[in-house]
């Protein structure tokens, strides 16, 4: 197969480019999850209640979700490297603002910047995978990207809590900004969009073409199947890790801050183990990916049911089981991106991936808001921390989202199979007529 252009740097391997791009995603996850274990400290620093604290994460996730489709279009037009650089700079600026903020409005603006930068990262890395590696390796590398990225959540758990309690708020988040700046320089030096030297102006599609690609990606039922698969599998684990899991464990279940952070770290470790397994199953049994989606959803809802129904505080073994099943949510949500890859050509992979990525984060935003509102409503007047019953009612909201997501996955799975069957028939008819 002939190359499309001259190689950028003969010694620059696909593995090195991928490693640096994934490192950028690890740091993006770190920035994203840095509020998850510092939420109680943030409530004290800014003198806010649960609902106001939720606006920090909602602002970050809302911007992330709203930017997914625009970012996908921009990546298809301008390439992954530029978007990784832009996103990294925005996240560094956001952490700098968060380190220095003493006002709620400035703190919310800082989380918005983090959300904007984070929005560019994952899709950019997936596009790099699509251009630097053969298609047969995509499922494994997509899962590897999502799984290794969760090391950022590890950095955002025990180490960040220890740093915060040792040196204080401002030095801890300045350190986070410095880490982001270091990785930004690595991206600048190492990452390239493709193995070849096509000039950007020669490959960037016009706006009309971009709009058509976006419409075609949305019209493909496989893309919407990916969106709803991402929706139904991601939100429970994501919200637990990003904001409400830590207060639930500390205030509701009586864990110490260190023990709660350690349990969140265990969640990340389990993700690392589960990711390759789910990738292997998707590659071996592509027609049964929806079965995996339903299995993950049902098991998560079942374990939550036991935890919420348990009289009094749940035993530690049960909370460990909850964390383990929530850990599978992250790798499970990657199945949505495999649908985007399967049913869309490489030139619109950014747009299709952006559409899919909206699903889980919209669900997460809804759940973050709902949990915060229910906690405030269910907390008795004059009490500073929510009781366990308040957390029970708050997390019960998840069942509405699971029901909606499961119905939509079933709907678009059927639509995708009908379209695939129709396309196979359309191809087969001329052959039969000619024979």
- In tens, the pLDDT along 400-424 reads 999 999 999 999 999 988 887 777 7
Q: Is residue 433 part of a domain?
A: no
What are the residues facing 291 on neighbouring strands?
Answer: none
DSSP-assigned beta bridge partners for residue 7: 196
- Average of per-residue pLDDT across 134-138: 68
Indicate the DSSP class of residue 248: I
pLDDT at 231 over 50: yes
What is the total count of domains within the chain? 1
pLDDT at 206: 62
Residue 6 lies in a domain: no
Which of the two residues, 209 and 362, has the higher pLDDT score? 362
Q: What is the pLDDT of residue 429?
A: 47
Cα dihedral across residues 357, 359, 364, 365: positive or negative: positive
Query: What pLDDT was estimated at residue 120?
Result: 92
Residue 1 reports pLDDT greater than 60: no
CATH of the domain at 291: 1.20.1250.20
Say how many CA atoms lie within 13 Å of 149 toward its Cβ: 26
For position 28, what pLDDT does the model report? 93
- Work out the pLDDT band at 351, boundaries 50, 70, 90: confident
Per the model's pLDDT, the better-predicted residue between 43 and 431 turns out to be 43
Residues of the domain holding 225:
14-195+205-420
Q: Is the pLDDT of residue 171 over 80?
A: yes
- Residue 435 is assigned to a structural domain of this protein: no
Measured CA angle at 359 (ends 260, 138), to 5 deg: 90
Place 10 in a pLDDT band, splitting at 50, 70 and 90.
Answer: very low
For residue 7, the SS3 value is strand
Q: Which residues pair with 196 in a beta bridge?
A: 7
Look at residue 20 in the predicted model and tell me its pLDDT: 94
Q: How far apart (Å, rounded) are the C-alpha atoms in residues 72 and 267?
A: 29
Rounded to 10 degrees, the C-alpha dihedral 10/11/15/16 comes to: -120
| pLDDT level of residue 427 (50, 70, 90 thresholds) | low
pLDDT of residue 200: 42
199 CB neighbour count, 10 Å cutoff: 8
Among the residue ranges 3-7, 18-22, 97-101, 310-314, the one predicted with the least confidence is: 3-7
Question: Coil, strand or helix: which one is 38?
Answer: coil
* Amino acid 433: pLDDT: 36
Rounded (10°) angle between helices 335-343 and 221-239: 160
> Which pLDDT score is estimated for 152?
82
**Rounded (10°) CA dihedral 173, 177, 180, 184:** 180
Q: Residue 300 domain-assigned?
A: yes
Sort 327 into a burial class: Cβ within 10 Å, 0-12 / 13-18 / 19+. buried
Output the furthest CA–CA distance in the chain (Å, rounded): 82
From residue 26, how far is each of 118, 150, 202, 224 by CA, in Å? 10, 6, 32, 27
Query: Is 431 inside any structural domain?
Result: no
Does residue 274 lie within any of the structural domains? yes
Cα(30)–Cα(1) distance, rounded to whole angstroms?
40
Which of 40-44, 366-370, 414-418 has the least mean pLDDT?
40-44
Which pLDDT belongs to residue 91?
Answer: 96
Measured torsion, CA atoms of residues 204, 121, 369, 235, in degrees rounded to the nearest 10 = 100
Give which of 106, 136, 86 is closest to 45, Cα–Cα.
Answer: 106
Mean pLDDT confidence for 351-376: 89
Q: What does the DSSP 8-state code read for residue 241?
A: I
Half-sphere exposure of 212 (CA within 13 A, CB side): 6
- Residue written as tokens 């984070």? 118
Residues 277-294, mean pLDDT to the nearest whole number: 87
Average pLDDT of every residue of the chain: 84
Answer yes or no: is 260 within a domain: yes
Lowest mean pLDDT among 187-201, 263-277, 368-382: 187-201
Answer whether residue 110 is part of any domain. yes
pTM above 0.85, yes or no: no
Average pLDDT of the segment spanning 274-278: 85
């Amino acid at each position: 197969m002939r190359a499309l252009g001259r190689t950028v740097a003969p010694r620059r391997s696909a593995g090195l480019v991928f490693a640096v791009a994934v490192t950028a995603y690890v740091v993006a996850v770190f920035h994203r999850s840095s509020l998850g274990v510092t939420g109680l400290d943030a409530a004290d620093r800014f003198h806010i209640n649960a609902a106001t604290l939720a606006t920090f994460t909602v602002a970050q996730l809302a911007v992330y979700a709203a930017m997914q489709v625009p970012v996908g279009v921009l990546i298809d037009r301008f390439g992954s490297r530029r978007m990784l650089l832009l996103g990294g700079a925005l996240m560094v600026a956001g952490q700098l603002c968060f380190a220095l903020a003493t006002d709620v409005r400035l703190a919310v603006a800082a989380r918005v910047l983090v959300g904007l930068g984070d929005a560019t990262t994952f899709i950019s890395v997936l596009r790099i995978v699509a251009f630097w590696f053969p298609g047969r390796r995509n499922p494994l590398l997509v899962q590897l990207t999502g799984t290794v990225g969760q090391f950022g959540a590890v950095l955002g758990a025990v180490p960040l809590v220890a740093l915060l309690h040792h040196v204080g708020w401002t030095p801890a988040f300045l350190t986070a900004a410095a880490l982001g700046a270091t990785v930004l320089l690595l991206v600048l030096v190492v990452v390239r969009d493709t193995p070849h030297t096509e000039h950007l102006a020669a490959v960037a599609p016009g706006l009309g073409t971009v709009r058509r690609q976006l419409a075609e990606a949305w019209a493909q039922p496989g893309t919407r199947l990916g969106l709803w698969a991402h929706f139904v599998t991601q939100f429970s684990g994501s919200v637990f890790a990003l904001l409400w899991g830590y207060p639930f464990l500390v205030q509701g279940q009586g864990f110490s801050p260190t023990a709660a952070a350690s349990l969140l770290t265990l969640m990340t470790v389990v993700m690392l183990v589960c990711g390759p397994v789910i990738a292997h199953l998707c590659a071996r049994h592509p027609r049964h990916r929806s079965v995996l989606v339903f299995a993950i959803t049902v098991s998560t809802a079942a374990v939550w049911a036991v935890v919420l129904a348990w009289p009094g505080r749940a035993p530690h073994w049960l909370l460990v089981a909850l964390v383990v099943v929530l850990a599978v949510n992250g790798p499970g949500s990657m199945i949505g991106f495999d649908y985007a890859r399967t049913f869309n050509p490489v030139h619109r992979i950014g747009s299709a991936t952006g559409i899919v990525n909206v699903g889980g984060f919209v669900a997460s935003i809804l759940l973050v808001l709902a949990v915060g509102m229910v906690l405030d409503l269910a907390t008795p007047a004059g009490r500073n921390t929510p009781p366990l019953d308040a957390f029970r009612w708050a997390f019960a909201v998840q069942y509405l989202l699971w029901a909606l997501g499961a119905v939509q996955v079933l709907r678009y799975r059927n639509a995708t199979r009908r379209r695939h069957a129709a396309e196979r028939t359309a191809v087969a008819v001329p052959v039969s007529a000619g024979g």
